[in-house]
Amino acid sequence: MAHTHRPESEIALRVKAIESLLVEKGIVDPTTLDTIIEAYEHQIGPHNGARIVAKAWVDAAYKQRLLADGTSAIAELGLTGFSSEHMVVVENTPQVHNLIVCTLCSCYPWAILGLPPTWYKSFAYRARAVIEPRKVLQEFGLVIPDEVEIRVWDSNADLRYLVLPERPQGTEGLSEAALAGLVTRNAMIGTVKVQPPEQPSTLAA
Amino acid sequence: MAIETSNECMTVAHAQYLLQNGVDCRGVSDDPPQFQAGDRVRTKVMHPITYTRLPRYVRGKMGTIAKVNGVYVFPDTMGQRLATKPQYVYNVRFAAQELWGPDASPRDCLYIDLFDDHLDAT
């Protein structure tokens, strides 16, 4: 027998109840809430980070500024915002692979990457990314050779981190916009590499 | 001195301002940084019952200052609505084996941002 109505989860109901109370008591303005939700649903997201990465790939001087002072270089593109006030960009190379985590809670560069994925906030990722990053990356489908150094960045203070992934081979002819289209959210957290267009990543979700 | 938090309802304009500009967590200090890049440091062993940004897994460990990030307000006291206690934040590098023992990769490192009050000179 098919159910036409699925009850809302307990947590969703609880949030709804809290929201109604806050609005009723005049502590929260529902129009303000809508403004914030609208911004994260339609304007802010990983496409912002992808623009930064693609620009760094095609503009060597920009890349240098980005790695030296992420905050200022990102501000040049007008992409600064809430929870991305103090940015550090770390570069993946053939010798070094970077991975971002926040063991304390779920600190994340919201203005650059949007809201963090659920797995980023999970206890398992937060605990295991620091203890056994190689195993965690394998579970994302990424095997890092023993001779490559893994740098795990625990962003527990007020600085936020963004991985500058390696530009994939065979993308020399691509425009900046086309390059940006290859850059995934997870590549900017460091759990996958950016794939060339011929081999789309199966782990984009 | 307790820090007062506004109970005023956030307006649409304020939300838009925050989304665009964020919140600046930097502070001001007249003191020079205690440490410079390359200095060896040991994290404090402490178990406060209140909030701290010094995670247990890096307490009592030897690390190296990778970068001086500048002065920021101190969440350990801010979280209790006490003083802003501005101080330097350093990016500190720890060898994975220092944190997790010989089973960790000899190549891997952990980088974390820690405050003056979390660190001792060695």
Q: Is residue B31 part of a domain?
A: yes
Q: Assess if residue B71 is contained within a domain.
A: yes
Q: Residue A174: which of A191, A190, A198, A192 has the closest Cα?
A: A198
Smallest Cβ–Cβ distance between A35 and the set B15, B107, B113 belongs to B15
If one counts the domains in chain B, the total is 1
Taking only the tens place, the pLDDT of each residue in A92-115 is 999 999 999 999 988 999 999 999
In angstroms, the CA A131 to CA A150 distance is 12
Residue B4, domain member (yes or no) = no
Q: Who's near A12: CB < 8 A, 6+ residues apart? A: none
Q: Residue B14: inside a domain, yes or no?
A: no
In a domain, B20, yes or no: no
Q: What is the pLDDT of residues A63-80, one digit of tens each?
A: 999 999 999 999 999 999
- E strand or H helix at A58: helix A46-58
Alpha helices per DSSP H over B1-122: 12-21, 75-78, 96-100
Residues of B with CB under 8 A from a CB of A: 7, 9-12, 14-16, 18-26, 53, 55, 57, 69, 72, 75, 89, 91, 96, 99-100, 104-105, 107-115
* pLDDT tens by residue, B31-69: 999 999 999 999 999 999 999 999 999 999 999 999 999
Distance, CA of A125 to CA of A121 (rounded, Å): 7
B55: containing domain: 25-121
**Sequence-separated (6 or more) residues with CB below 8 Å from residue A16:** A8
pLDDT for B3 beyond 90:
no
**Chain B hits for A35, Cβ within 8 Å:** 12, 15-16, 19
Go through the domains of chain A in sequence order and give each one's CATH number: 10-42 (no CATH), 45-189 (3.90.330.10)
Note the maximum CA span of chain A: 63
* Helices B12-21/A30-38 angle, 10° precision: 30
Phi and psi torsions of B42, nearest 5°: -120, 135
pLDDT at A5 over 70: no
B18 in any annotated domain: no
**What pLDDT is attached to residue A99?**
98
Of the residues B105, B118, B119, the best mutation for testing chain A's interface (the one with the most A CB atoms within 10 Å of its CB) is B105
Within a domain: B9: no
**pLDDT tier, A124 (very low <50, low <70, confident <90, very high otherwise):** very high
Q: What is the CATH number of the domain that holds B47?
A: 2.30.30.50
CA proximity to A84, closest of A75, A76, A93, A92: A75
pLDDT over 60 at A200, yes or no = no
Which chain A residue has its CA at the smallest distance from B6's CA? A27
